[in-house]
Amino acid sequence: MIDKNPIYPLAVAETKGTYQWQLSSGNPATSGCPSIPPSIQLRRYQQQAITNWFANQGRGTLKMATGSGKTITALAIATQLYQQIGLQVLLVVCPYRHLVTQWARECQQFNLEPILAFENVRNWQSQLSTRLYNVQAGNQPFLTIITTNATLITEGFQSQLKYFPDKTLIIGDEAHNLGSPRLEASLPRNLGLRLALSATPERYFDDQGTDVLFNYFGPVLEPELTLADAIEQGALVHYLYYPILVELTATEASAYAKLTKRIGWALAEEENLQKNDAVTSLLMQRARLIGAAANKLTALRKLMINRLDTYHTLFYCGDGSVEGGSSNSINSQLAAV
């Protein structure tokens, strides 16, 4: 099986203090097959992460700060696998649809032509089935699929997994999301090459989910790259952080107190905390309550009133709901912002 594959060496050359990926000699890249674009130079920590993933027999989790180049590192691994063992399929699983689009853009830089498998099954299932058959028959050298967590668990996608060849690399993006019982159970066991990407792979208050995630993808590999590390090494820009503290409204504070009391009761009654779905649900409700605190919008309005000419601004919103302008109006925080 794939776990017994030999370690494949990487060709690394140092030029003026930078590390460049050296493509194996051979024919020019075939359309749809992975190749490193000449414009990309891998940083030292990316090279080390790749080396360690291969040394761990094609399993592992890359714990790197957001924006430090996890996607590029992962696609470089796929390219090396294609060159060394004839990798046939790359399967990328993302939690959100906008990440599918981002991955598609990055894949195109690497000469890949991905199938975007999400939403309506009629838009992709027939194409996926046909191309998997072509790969198995030797009529197509390489296939890339990018899908979402929500699509992965569907019968339409699960029914296709048995047709994926052994030489398939599965990449879990924001992989901490895949530690939930339902998603973890949907991960294909017939695929041996596995790579997880996350700035925070350890699941909050869910040691069991973290363990099953690492059992599937493999442990966190060195080097771990924190936000401070990425800034120090020039992978991310310096920035200033100004926290603005807000208080819960009276209604929110009352709801918070009630949820906290219910959490305490549930903890007292349950010995096996890791399997206590009731506690997990209550904790999520309380987290959403904090995330969607109404006074956050008030503070944001005050902050932005003198910044109306500001451009290139990102607003990160929670998935909770806030009251709208009328007493009966409830909007998502995203819509309110």
pLDDT at 189: 95
Between CA 319 and CA 324 the distance in angstroms is 15
pLDDT at 283: 86
Strands 330-332 and 321-323: antiparallel
Mean pLDDT split into 10-residue runs, the chain, 337 residues: 37 29 46 91 95 97 94 97 97 94 96 92 92 95 96 95 97 94 94 96 86 96 92 88 93 95 84 64 88 90 86 75 47 63
Query: Is 119 in contact with 94 (CB distance < 8 Å)?
Result: no
At how many degrees (to 10) do helices 70-85 and 97-109 cross?
50
Cis peptide, bond prior to residue 34, ω within 30 of zero: no
Between CA 284 and CA 300 the distance in angstroms is 24
pLDDT at 291: 87
pLDDT at 7: 37
pLDDT at 271: 58
Q: Which long-range contacts (CB under 8 A, 24 or more apart) does 197-200 make?
A: 197/61, 197/62, 197/64, 197/70, 197/71, 197/74, 197/171, 197/172, 197/173, 198/61, 198/62, 198/63, 198/172, 198/173, 198/174, 199/63, 199/64, 199/65, 199/66, 200/63, 200/176
Rounded to the nearest 10 degrees, how much is the dihedral formed by the CA atoms of 11, 15, 20, 25? -50
pLDDT at 332: 63
Provide the whole-model pTM.
Answer: 0.77
pLDDT at 319: 62
pLDDT at 274: 52
